[in-house]
Amino acid sequence: MSWQNILQIAALIGLLALCVPRLGRYMGYVYGSRADGTAPGDRFFNPIERVIYRIFGVDSKREQRWNVYAASMMAFTLVSLLSLYVLLRTQGSLFFNPTDRASMSPTGAFNAAVSFTTNTNWQWFSGEVAISHLTQMLGFAVHNFISAAVGLAIVVALIRGITRSRSRNLGNFWVDLTRGIIRILLPLALAGAVVLISQGVVQNFNGHTVATAVDTTNTDAEGNAIAEQLIPGGPVASQEAIKELGTNGGGYYNANSAHPFESSNGFTNFMEIFMLLLIPLALVFTFGALVQDKRQSRLLVAVMAGILVVFSGMAALSEQNGNSALASLQVDQSISTDQSGGNMEGKEVRFGAISCGVFAGATTGTSTGAVNCMHDSFTSLGGLAPMLHMMLGEISPGGVGVGLSGVLIMALLSVFIAGLMVGRTPEYLGKKIQAAEMKLVTLYILAMPFALLTFAAAAVVLRSAATYQAGPHGLSEVLYNYASTANNNGSAFAYQGTGTQWYTVTQGLSMLMGRFFTIIPALAIGGSLAAKPKVPATSGTMPTHNPLFGFLLAGVILIVAGLTFFPALALGPILEHLSL
């Protein structure tokens, strides 16, 4: 690893350490950590919110039970999904389509609508050749905001369930949704877009810019000389900012964040990694503020960061060590003044192997799905790292809202296991964890593996996988793609025909299951805990803020994923590595 890579990683850690606690406290104020309910910016934001509530008929002072909260979320999601589906089906006939993009097929539109509604942002298509400017802005960008705001609302409702006593309510979904968009996501996205534009990321309403080719020896498929090139433009920076901040992923261009129009230099690459980690990590400090115990947030952020460092380091170092097959051919893959070294297949030469590995760890740990290199070109161990990272449930630090929800669910499981070991009713932050909560925890934990393994197995058995490579790497492609959709990540191993009817339908169903078969149990757990009285801590209560519990939590996360996915991984990336 070069000194430049070390400096970049140190700068990233320093900037996160500076910004994350402050943003976390601010979000705590937004969602009510102050006793008087005030928050910074009330004088500016309150009038805007009152207008929104008046337009949509929302009583901001009326709270909801968990099932009403869930019903409101599902109704909003259904309307969002249908509106995006209609937009995709009709974009060819609508205005603001300077490049004449055609409407999508029914199954393709279903997949894309589900993808952006569930915060997955999986794309079976190339954005620059399939999507109009109108769809990018009114469809995808809007859903990038609202899907992230739904995640924020869900985790806040779960935290209220932990903090409240003998209550039947978890807050108001419409208020939480509005506050997340107006007070958190919009200001951060505006600042992020300005930074990206200042560095040369494209932001315009152009169609194609015609450029005269310098090299006229290139020919098209019919043998005709290519005399000019069409360069696609569009409102890219505004999409890119919320894509990272909302842990959405997707890409205006097929090359995603490896494209110079989406990430123009090393600084924008650095800022995009920072933006996709910012809110998920800050939410842990929001949790500490809302439960009024900063020790809890320090413990959880240490566990999340530890797992993130392990998997990011595994991916980065595996790629920096290079491809052993090339090493046997006497190919020099070492770092020198002339090259960055490592496995450079599928890598952007502007970023190199280490930056690619760090980005891969961050994007799969946060359910973002944006990429700055081709994951299918990773070495076997390098590809195993982001795949297994997703299979943990994307909780290190996870997507906006849903990541912290997942960690809190695993914390409940951990204290339950600890309680069984010592023969005592487990407690978490003053709430007894009993059979009702553990049934819901079980549903939460099983939902993602069921969607992933069921559809992956069916694709292989029915020969619908459409892989272009045989053997363990072909299986890895299938596993990775369904891991990405079931975890609402959106990144891809690629090199697969995922635009087929089989994939657009099954991956759409996988995304829906991965999103709502986890969100609804999380809200039900919040409702169950809110109804319980708080019990005082005693000498027999297991502390949940010390290193012992941290190691227990990390161990439970790894063991659950290992027991679930090891057989499949053994036939995929592990076998591929052993066969080298």
Q: Looking at residue 469, what is its pLDDT?
A: 76
Confirm if 207 and 99 have CB atoms less than 8 A apart: yes
Quick one: average pLDDT of 168-172?
Answer: 95
Q: How far apart (Å, rounded) are the C-alpha atoms in residues 503 and 524? A: 31
Is pLDDT of 154 > 90?
yes
Nearby residues of 377 by Cβ (< 8 Å), 6 or more positions away: 343, 345, 346, 347
Nearby residues of 125 by Cβ (< 8 Å), 6 or more positions away: 104, 108, 112, 131, 499
Residue 502: domain span:
3-219+227-578
Q: Looking at residue 24, what is its pLDDT?
A: 96
Q: Looking at residue 579, what is its pLDDT?
A: 86
Quick one: average pLDDT of 361-386?
Answer: 92
Q: Looking at residue 495, what is its pLDDT?
A: 64
Quick one: average pLDDT of 260-274?
Answer: 95
Of residues 109 and 222, more confidence is placed in 109
Is pLDDT of 284 > 80?
yes
Q: Would you place residue 314 in the very low, low, confident or very high pLDDT band (cuts 50, 70, 90)? A: very high
User: Rounded mean pLDDT of the chain?
Assistant: 92
H or E segment at 232?
strand 228-232
Q: Looking at residue 176, what is its pLDDT?
A: 97
Among 39, 282, 22, 288, residue whose Cα is nearest residue 175: 39
Is pLDDT of 404 > 90?
yes
Q: How far apart (Å, rounded) are the C-alpha atoms in residues 317 and 359? A: 13
Domain count for the chain? 1
Quote the tokens at residue 400.
Answer: 């906006």
Cα→Cα distances 95→18, 92, 99, 132, 529, Å: 44, 8, 11, 9, 49
Is pLDDT of 173 > 70?
yes
Is pLDDT of 291 > 80?
yes
Q: Looking at residue 166, what is its pLDDT?
A: 94
Quick one: average pLDDT of 115-136?
Answer: 93
Is pLDDT of 496 > 70?
no
Q: How far apart (Å, rounded) are the C-alpha atoms in residues 264 and 361? A: 21
Tens of pLDDT, residues 35-82: 778 899 999 999 999 999 999 999 999 999 999 999 999 999 999 999
Quick one: average pLDDT of 325-334?
Answer: 76
Is pLDDT of 220 > 90?
no
Tens of pLDDT, residues 207-216: 888 888 777 7
Q: Would you place residue 462 in the very low, low, confident or very high pLDDT band (cuts 50, 70, 90)? A: confident
Quote the tokens at residue 492.
Answer: 């891809």
Is pLDDT of 453 > 80?
yes
Q: Would you place residue 497 in the very low, low, confident or very high pLDDT band (cuts 50, 70, 90)? A: confident
Residue type, 423: G
Q: How far apart (Å, rounded) are the C-alpha atoms in residues 182 and 580? A: 52
Quick one: average pLDDT of 381-398?
Answer: 93
Longest dimension (CA), the chain: 82
Q: Looking at residue 394, what is its pLDDT?
A: 86
Tens of pLDDT, residues 250-265: 889 999 999 999 999 9
